Structure 1
Amino acid sequence: MDVTFAGAEQAFKAPAAGSETLDLAFLLHYSNSVSREDFQRILDFMKNILQYSDIDDDKLRVGAVVFRKRGIPLFDFNNYYSQEEVFGGIDQINYNYRSKTSSIASGFDTVRTSLFTRTGGEREPAPNLVILITDSNADTDDASELEGHDEQFHNDFVALRAKGFPVVIPALESSTSGTFAVSKQ
């Protein structure tokens, strides 16, 4: 499972500055070789990084697209307005979306045309953030590398809270990591 954070500092830093809301899209791809166990790990990872996000107060809206040859919207920003509903939507993502062929360009285009639109629930001037999760081009055969990376996302989200990112994790202790002030839990 390739999990790359290179360049993530800029991706998080730029859109979150000065905003109290965020529209977050998951862009997902599951290869034919992904096991049910790894598929579940990916769904759990999605929920883990949203665990402390402020969905219930409408500061964070979540959508999801899966891509194969074409992108397929799973749910947009108008579908779910509470953390419980978002987690239910994630749990409804079907294992049968696995695919041998994929087009990441088609996936991003579907996010752009189905989620990041007024009819898809995008809010002006809420920044847009896409989290791409795929098991393709993996250097291992499982998704166990995701373990611990949800904590990195949590830490990055906490760091951005001061800049307006809608997260409700209490910051207990701070240190500096790269250009982020990171909260340790």
Structure 2
Amino acid sequence: MAMTRPRAGHALLLLPLVAVATWFAARGRTARDDPGAVLAALRAAAGPSLPAAGAAGATARSEPAAYTRETLYEYIDGAAEAYLARGFERCVAATFTFSSATGDALDVTAEVYRFAAPAGAHAQMESERPAGAAPIPGLTEAFADPSTAVACRGRDYLKLTALTAGPGAEKVLAAMAAAWRQGKP
């Protein structure tokens, strides 16, 4: 069988292969978003989050309730205006139950408020920080007294209230604040 020289028709057969190879090469050079950055952005957009009951040491947690700019007054009627003025966006709240060795249960209400900017969260924390609250050891921007704890993490403001003050409540509040701070924003 005699060999034939490559002709223009043969080159046309290679043209689709060259086009596909060029397309793949161009796609490989385009910048891709960092998956970690995308995940962090999605978590931040999801809104404020409470610590998991187990991470906080609680034996139970009520179903979280969510509030927006339009419904916040249903939860904190009378104080909603101060939150809104500081850039409030969303809130999630739940009650955690802690058991003790003595059999007494301690209930703690946890509220996490999301603001438009960190300055709004800090301003709200400072306005609600109890006069006798001391810094929580090991945590920055976190304060507690025997029945209340407040903390900030970026645009989020945490407020914890022990519904029954007693021995061990301050320790539980500090543990909850630490569990919340270790969570992802």
Q: TM-score, normalized by length of structure 2?
A: 0.26
Relative contact order (alpha carbons < 8 A, sep ≥ 6): 1 or 2 greater? 1
Q: TM-score, normalised by structure 1?
A: 0.26
CA radius of gyration, larger in: 2
Higher strand share: 2
Q: Give the structure with the higher percent helix.
A: 2
